[in-house]
Chains A and B, each alone.
Chain A
Amino acid sequence: MRRMSVTNLVALALGLAFLYVPIAILVVYSFNASRLVTVWGGWSTRWYAALLEDRAMIDAALASLLIATVSAALATVLGAFAALALTRFRFRGRLPFAAMIYAPLVMPEVITGLSLLLLFVAIDLDRGLFTIIIAHTTLTMCFVAIVVQSRLATFDRSLEEAAMDLGCPPGRTFFAVVLPVIMPAVIAGFLLAFSLSLDDLVIASFTTGPGATTLPIRIYSEIRLGVKPEINAVCTIFIAVVAATVVAASLIEKSRGREARALLA
């Protein structure tokens, strides 16, 4: 019964080709020996070697990694708390809370970025890595909350009840029963937060200050000047890191697809 029709196969093939061909071209041309990005001059790794000399690019990458690590860690804790609050507790203001969780997912980045910057100016906070971390935490904790919440919603409550019936205090029940079950979703949430932070250009541009340049800000200013083989090389490294992370994540969490779908459904 599960035989796919020709139409469906064609749709799949075309869709996946559309998604992957541009990235494949980008990767192949990062190994192009010619400086002209449009002329193929044979295979070479010279642009990767050139990257190692590019101090500004390396600094920007390190800043991005630092911001992504710290903000994803904060977002994972706050987002997991928010997911627990939404699924496990009844409290006043639950609906506005849920609205604040969902709104940042669709909010145009220019608005989020502008509003956070104006807040930082109003409370006279020096802008730099620290303010980008706050901004990224605010955005990504909502994604974490939704990923973890979908796991909690399908979680068999009788396990929890059994533990408490046997006299296990709520706090201990959480660490012994609930946390192990939601752990894959928490890890998936962390990785999602990490990659969103690493990727963000608009919010970081608004909330950054003098001396704090992230990798996307750096790449953006280079792209505006045109296509360069070094940028292809940076992008290829970036894609390789992300692909490795996703493969690792799917090994950790076999049913990752469920969270992924719940996030977007």
Chain B
Amino acid sequence: MTKRSSQMDSGSGVSLGARLIVAAPYLWLLGFFLVPFLIVLKISLSESAIAQPPYLPVLDLTAGLRGLRDFVSGLSFTNYFTIAGDDLYLFSYLKSLEVAAVSTTILLVCGVPLAYAMARAPRAAQPLLVTLVMLPFWTSFLIRVYAWINILQRDGLLNQALIRLGLVEEPTTWLATDTAVYIGLVYSYLPFMVLPAYASFEKFDESLLEAAADLGCPRWRTFFVITLPLAWRGLAAGALLCFVPIVGEFVVPDLLGGSEATMIGQTLWTEFFANRDWPAASAVAVALLVLLLAPIAIYQHLQTREIKVRQ
């Protein structure tokens, strides 16, 4: 922000319109984004109960200070001890981190060459290529996962093709395996990796590459010595944009994965919808958030830096 940008809010005449422009989204996000988190935090410290709502204690504001004291003394860390003590949750978290780390790595390996090729394509073709990569992102997530069920099921097209080619005798099981989950995740998140990577490849000065080529640097080496160091911010943003949501992913592992080792998003879903244990679900959510705090903070840092650079 420079001093030029302060004219609209300078002086005493901060207009009603200006106040509204700041206040409306601010209040909306406070009410529907921040407050809900505080409620999750509070309920994660409550106990499950057969009541409506199904947890205790409930803050009784009409009882004044005594009500507040009763409320605070009713809070406990029981749910967190349960989570920490139960292997099911621990495995769930570890499984989620593993799946997210592996699929983000695959996404980097697949996405970076694609993004680089887009940035090296003729200028006139680039907007079309961006649209082509964006288009699947605009179609439904659910539909993209469903498309893979068509292909991966036991008598699906992949097995038909493999048998016709003589590569396998019997149909192989693809659905309900980790392989299917990885295919689904890479397929769904590829645009999130490619577009930020493309944006940073496309931005930098091409004469650097020409200079390297003139000085006899082989092309693959130019890529590692010049291109990657200059573009790493975009790649990191893309990787985090994939990693963080994948840790909490529900749809892909639920539809393509097996039932033996579930990811944390599925555990939370089951806790909430099947077991109706709201405090446990809340505690799982808070623990998940704590786990993701560091990657989210790094992502935010990269983003806010991007804004400063742009201004």
Q: Taking beta carbons and an 8 Å cutoff, which residues of A are in contact with B? A: 1-2, 4-5, 7-9, 11-12, 14-16, 18-20, 22-23, 25-26, 29, 37-38, 77-79, 81-82, 84-91, 93, 97-111, 114-116, 118-119, 121-122, 134-135, 137-138, 141, 145, 149-150, 153-154, 157, 161, 164, 170-171, 174, 192, 195, 198-199, 201-202, 205-206, 216, 219-220, 223-224, 227, 231-232, 235, 238-239, 242-243, 245-246, 250, 255-257, 260-265
B250 touches A110 (CB 8 A): yes
Knowing A111-B288, A264-B195, the reply to whether A106 touches B265 (Cβ < 8 A) is no
Residues B126-142 near A (CB distance < 8 A): 126-127, 129-136, 138-142
A223 touches B120 (CB 8 A): no
Knowing A15-B110, A170-B15, A246-B131, the reply to whether A138 touches B29 (Cβ < 8 A) is yes
Inter-chain CA distance A115–B202, complex, in Å, is 39
Tell me, yes or no, whether B198 is within 8 Å of chain A by CB. yes
Q: Output the least CB separation between A191 and chain B (Å).
A: 8
- Binary interface encoding of chain B residues 275-303 relative to chain A, with 1 for a CB under 8 A from any of its CBs, else 0: 00010011001001100100010011001
Q: List 29 A-B contacts (CB under 8 A).
A: A15-B194, A22-B150, A29-B150, A37-B150, A38-B156, A82-B25, A87-B5, A89-B9, A89-B22, A90-B1, A97-B26, A100-B34, A108-B248, A114-B40, A118-B282, A119-B35, A141-B25, A153-B310, A153-B311, A199-B139, A216-B140, A223-B146, A232-B150, A260-B131, A260-B134, A261-B196, A261-B198, A264-B199, A265-B196
- Binary interface encoding of chain B residues 38-74 relative to chain A, with 1 for a CB under 8 A from any of its CBs, else 0: 0110010000000001000000000000000000000
A145 touches B199 (CB 8 A): no
Inter-chain CA distance A246–B8, complex, in Å, is 35
Q: Output the least CB separation between A114 and chain B (Å).
A: 5
Inter-chain CA distance A115–B38, complex, in Å, is 9
Chain B residues with CB under 8 Å of A105's CB are 241
Q: Taking beta carbons and an 8 Å cutoff, which residues of B are in contact with A? A: 1, 4-9, 15, 17-18, 20-22, 24-26, 28-30, 32-37, 39-40, 43, 53, 110, 113-114, 116-118, 120-123, 126-127, 129-136, 138-144, 146-151, 153, 155-157, 160, 187, 190-192, 194-196, 198-200, 202, 210, 219, 234, 237-238, 240-241, 244-245, 247-251, 255, 265, 268-269, 272-273, 278, 281-282, 285, 288-289, 292, 296, 299-300, 303-304, 306-307, 310-311
Inter-chain CA distance A169–B59, complex, in Å, is 49
The 9 closest A-B pairs by CB, nearest first: A108-B248, A115-B36, A15-B114, A82-B25, A8-B117, A265-B199, A22-B147, A264-B195, A11-B117
Chain B residues with CB under 8 Å of A150's CB are 310
Chain B residues with CB under 8 Å of A242's CB are 135, 138-140
A250 touches B117 (CB 8 A): no
Q: Output the least CB separation between B121 and chain A (Å).
A: 6
Chain B residues with CB under 8 Å of A154's CB are 310
Chain A residues with CB under 8 Å of B202's CB are 261
Inter-chain CA distance A204–B251, complex, in Å, is 13
B123 touches A2 (CB 8 A): yes
Knowing A82-B25, A102-B300, A260-B134, the reply to whether A239 touches B282 (Cβ < 8 A) is no
Knowing A4-B121, A89-B18, A227-B153, the reply to whether A199 touches B134 (Cβ < 8 A) is no
Q: Output the least CB separation between A212 and chain B (Å).
A: 16
Q: Output the least CB separation between B1 and chain A (Å).
A: 6
Chain A residues with CB under 8 Å of B200's CB are 265
B310 touches A231 (CB 8 A): no
Chain A residues with CB under 8 Å of B250's CB are 109-110, 202
A235 touches B143 (CB 8 A): yes
Knowing A110-B248, A242-B138, the reply to whether A119 touches B39 (Cβ < 8 A) is yes
Q: Output the least CB separation between A122 and chain B (Å).
A: 5
Chain B residues with CB under 8 Å of A246's CB are 131, 134-135, 138
Chain A residues with CB under 8 Å of B29's CB are 82, 97, 100-101, 138, 141
B9 touches A91 (CB 8 A): yes
Q: Output the least CB separation between B104 and chain A (Å).
A: 13
Inter-chain CA distance A20–B129, complex, in Å, is 13
**Which residue on chain B has the smallest CB distance to residue A264?**
B195
B33 touches A103 (CB 8 A): yes
B157 touches A25 (CB 8 A): yes
Q: Output the least CB separation between A146 and chain B (Å).
A: 9
B37 touches A115 (CB 8 A): yes
Chain A residues with CB under 8 Å of B144's CB are 22-23
Inter-chain CA distance A259–B26, complex, in Å, is 23
Inter-chain CA distance A88–B303, complex, in Å, is 18
Residue among B18, B25, B192, B278 having the largest count of chain A Cβ atoms under 10 Å: B25
